[in-house]
Amino acid sequence: FSLFFKDGTIKIKDLTSPELVGIMDTCFCCLITWLEGHSLAQTVFTCLYIHNPDFIEDPAMKAFALGILKICDIAREKVNKAAVFEEEDFQSMTYGFKMANSVTDLRVTGMLKDVEDDLQRRVKSTRSRQGEERDPEVELEHQQCLAVFSRVKFTRVLLTVLIAFTKKETSAVAEAQKLMTQAADLLSAIHNSLHHGIQAQNDTTKGDHPIMMGFEPLVNQRLLPPTFPRYAKIIKREEMVNYFSKLIDRIKAVCEVVNLTNLHCILDFFCEFSEQSPCVLSRSLLQASPNLYNKKVFGTHLMQDMVKDALRSFVSPPVLSPKCCLYNNHQAKDYIDSFVTHCVRPFCSLIQIHGHNRARQRDKLGHILEEFATLQDEAEKVDAALHSMLLKQEPQRQHLACLGTWVLYHNLRIMIQYLLSGFELELYSMHEYYYIYWYLSEFLYAWLMSTLSRADSSQMAEERIMEEQQKGRSSKKTKKKKKVRPLSREITMSQAYQNMCAGMYKTMIAFDMDGKVRKPKFELDSEQVRYEHRFAPFNSVITPPPVHYLQFKEMSDLNKYSPPPQSSDLYMAASKHFQQAKMILENIPNPDYEVNRILKVAKPNIVVMKLLAGGHKKDSKVPPEFDFSPHKYFPVVKLV
C-alpha cells in the first residue's frame, strides 16, 4: 500500500467527487463479481484502498472502504453459516486480509452516517434556489455531491440490512424491509450519476488493460494458486445497478417468509424462491430466517409444533384432535411425539436443500428420498398401532393411513420435482422425453392425486365427527355454509399437470411412430440402461414402488389395444389432454403466474396437435423443435 502511495498510484486525501464516484462504482462492481463466485483476491482486493483503510485520510473514502470490508465480512459469515454454497457458487477464502475486525460494525455505520450528513449539507448548500440564475459550475458540484452522497448512503443501508439479519428478533426483519425500500430509492440516483465517475485509463506500461485509479488487477497474483488463474471478468457499471436492483427485490422477498407459520407454505415459498435461481447471498439470508439449527423457525415456532400443525391441516389425524380419546392417552402421545421428532431432521434438510443452486438441489433431492422412505415406514407402523388403540375405544373412527398419507405426499412431491428439474437443467435428450413424461403422468401424478383425495376424505370424516359432537351439545340448528376444501386447488393443479404430461407423452410416441425422433445408435448402453439411470434414486422408495423398465414397456405397449392406435390417433389424444388442462386451468379463480405460464404452452400445443392429426407434414422426417421458454417443464411444440 505504501509503495503505491509513494509512486502516486493512489491519493489518500483530497479526492475529488468524480474520483470518489469512479472508485466507489468500481468497488461495487468488484463486490458483485465476488458474490458471483470469483475470489476476493481478484475482485474486491484489487482495490488498493481496501487493503489498509487506516492510512486513508479522506473521510468519505475511509468510511466507504471500511463499509465494503464489513459488507464482505458479514456476507461471508452468512454464506458460510447457511452452508448452501458449492465451489462454483462462492469463494470464502480471505487470503489473510484484514477484514476491518478492529472496528465494530456500529462504528463503521456511524462513520458512514457522519460522511453522509456532511455530504447532505453540501448538497443542500449547492441546491438551486427559486428565481436565481444557475451557475453551471455550482450545478455540476451539486450533481457530483449528490452522486457521492447516494453511494455512501447505499453502502450504509446495505451494511445495516446485513447486520439486521444477524439479530435473532423478528422485528429486525421489519427493519431490514424498511431499509431495502430506502436502498431501492437510491438506485435511480446512482444510475443517473454513473457518468460523473472517472473512467479506467489505458496505461501502456502495464499492458493493454484499462486500469482504474486506486486499483491494481495483478496486486494479489502471488496469493493465487500456481495453476493458471481463472480470469475474473469484473461486471460493467450499468449491470451493477441492475444487479443491486434484483438483489434488493430478493431480500424484500426473503423478509416476507417471516409471516409464514405453516410448514407447507414455508416449503412452497422456498421452492418458488429457488425457481428464480437467486444469488448465493439471498439464498443464505433466506436460510438464516428459519433458524433450522436449533429446530426453531424464526426463533419462535418449534419445528415439532409446525409438523403437528401441518398434519392437522393436511389429514386431520384423530390423535391430534382434542376431542379424540387418544389425545390424552400416554402411549398414543409417546407414539406421535416420537414420530414428529423423527420428522424434524428430514424436513429441516428439505428446507435447506431448496437453498442450494438448482443443479446441486436435484442431486440432493435424489439422496433425501432415502430418509423419507424410512419416515414412511415409521408412519405406517405408528398409524397401525394408533388404529388398533382407537378401534377399542371409538370404533366409528379410523386412524388408517393418516401419517402415512402425509409422508407419502411429500415423497411424491420430491420425486416429481426431481424428474421435472431435469427438463429445466436440460439433462434429457429428446428420445428420453417419452418415458419421463409417462412416469410423471401415469404414475407419480396418479399417485399424488389419489393421496390428496385420501387426505381430503380423511379431513371430511374428521369434520363430520366433530359436527356430530357439536350437534349433540347444542340444540340450535346451525346454517351450513359451503366450505372451500383446503386441498381443492392442489388437486386441480395436479390434474392439470397430469394432463400436460400425458399430452407430451402421447406427442412423443406419435413423433417416434412418424420417424421424427432421432435416436442414438446404442453401442455401450441401451434404452434400458438409460431408463434405469434416470430413475435410480427411486429404488430406495418402497411406496410408491419403482416401475422397472420391463414393467414400463409392458404397461406402455400399444399393441395390447385392438386395433393399435396410429400416430394421428395419438396426436388427437394429446390434443384432448392439452384441451383438458386448458379447461381445468381456465376455471381456477384468481389465476397466478404459474397457471398463466402453463396456459401459454397448452393453447398453441392444442392447435399443433390438431394440425398433425390432420396429416400436416406427415412425410417430413425433420425433428420438431421444443421451446421451453414459456415454461421450463412443458415445451411449446414447433414444426420446422
Query: What's the burial of 330, exposed, middle or buried (CB within 10 Å: 0-12/13-18/19+)?
Result: exposed
**234 and 331 part of one domain:** no
Q: What residue ranges in 235-391 does DSSP mark as E strands?
A: 296-297, 301-302
**Is 91 inside a domain boundary?**
yes
Residue 342 predicted with pLDDT over 70: yes
**208 and 255 part of one domain:** yes
What pLDDT band is residue 482 in, cutting at 50, 70 and 90?
Answer: low
Three-class SS state of 205: strand
Q: What are phi and psi of 529, to 5 degrees?
A: -60, -45
How many residues in the chain?
A: 640
Residue 582 predicted with pLDDT over 70: yes
Task: Give yes or no for a cis peptide into 290 (omega within 30° of 0).
Answer: no
Task: Pick the last residue of a domain from 380, 405, 427.
Answer: 427
**Residues whose CB falls within 8 Å of the CB of residue 360, separated by 6 or more in sequence, listed in order:** 86
Domain tally, the chain: 3
pLDDT at 298: 47
**Tens of pLDDT, residues 487-543:** 889 999 999 999 999 999 999 999 999 988 888 887 777 889 999 999 999 999 988
**Is 527 inside a domain boundary?**
no
**105 and 211 part of one domain:** yes
Distances, alpha carbon 430 to alpha carbons 351, 423, 468, 524, in Å: 32, 10, 56, 19
**237 and 272 part of one domain:** no
**458 and 404 part of one domain:** no
Contact in structure between 54 and 69 (CB atoms under 8 Å) = no
**105 and 247 part of one domain:** yes
**Is 301 inside a domain boundary?**
yes
**Is 541 inside a domain boundary?**
no
Flag the least confident range among 150-154, 337-341, 437-441, 465-469. Answer: 465-469
**244 and 322 part of one domain:** no
Between CA 184 and CA 205 the distance in angstroms is: 41
**Domain span at 75:** 1-127+135-259
**158 and 219 part of one domain:** yes
Residue 209 predicted with pLDDT over 60: no
pLDDT at 203: 55
Between CA 418 and CA 433 the distance in angstroms is: 14
In 344-356, which positions are buried (b, 16+ CB within 10 angstroms) versus exposed (e)? Answer: bebbbebbbbbbb
CA 486 to chain CA mean position, Å? 25
Three-class SS state of 207: strand
**114 and 255 part of one domain:** yes
Between CA 254 and CA 173 the distance in angstroms is: 9
**362 and 336 part of one domain:** yes
Task: Pick the last residue of a domain from 193, 226, 259.
Answer: 259
**Is 362 inside a domain boundary?**
yes
| pTM summary value | 0.90
| Mean pLDDT in residue range 631-640 | 94
pLDDT at 346: 94
**Is 521 inside a domain boundary?**
no
Residue 425 predicted with pLDDT over 90: yes
CA 75 to chain CA mean position, Å? 18
Flag the least confident range among 226-240, 339-353, 552-566. Answer: 226-240
Q: Is 214 left (phi over 0), alpha (psi -120 to 50) or beta?
A: left
Residue 295 predicted with pLDDT over 80: no
Residue 20 predicted with pLDDT over 50: yes
Q: What are phi and psi of 574, to 5 degrees?
A: -65, -40
**Is 315 inside a domain boundary?**
yes
pLDDT at 227: 72
**317 and 416 part of one domain:** yes
Between CA 586 and CA 637 the distance in angstroms is: 21
Residue 149 predicted with pLDDT over 60: yes
**Is 340 inside a domain boundary?**
yes
Where do the H-state alpha helices sit in 289-357? 303-315, 330-353
**Tens of pLDDT, residues 47-74:** 999 988 988 899 999 999 999 999 999 9
**252 and 364 part of one domain:** no
pLDDT at 8: 59
Q: Tell me the pLDDT of the chain averaged across its residues.
A: 88
Cell numbers for 269: 415459498
